Amino acid sequence: MALAQMVKLFFDALWLLIIIYVLGSWVPSLQRQSWFRTLRGVVEPMLVPFRRIIPPENLGGLDLSPVFLMLALSLVQQLLLRALIG
């Protein structure tokens, strides 16, 4: 049960990082901060595969990769939790 809680905490933290990254990407002054560059280094590699599948250029510049990443993370989280809890 403790492992399941750690898995949930891990995915909750990833969700929070993605949300902070998306909101911060709209604020140019934040993008120059070192902590934001570190956050970009964590989040961007997870977004790249989704951008390859659905390029923002095909949607008039609208980048939906964070939405699809969060959906994928939710699915993986649910599968892991079901496997751990039984």
Q: What is the DSSP letter of 60?
A: T
**84, 7 contact by CB (below 8 A):** yes
CA dihedral 28, 30, 31, 35 (to 10 degrees): 180
Q: Which domain holds residue 67?
A: 2-85
Please tell me the total count of domains within the chain: 1
Which are the contacts of 11, defined by CB distance < 8 A and separation ≥ 6?
73, 74, 76, 77
SS3 33: coil
pTM reported for the whole predicted model: 0.90
Q: What is the pLDDT of residue 41?
A: 97
Residue ranges in the chain modelled with pLDDT below 50 = none
Q: What is the pLDDT of residue 1?
A: 78
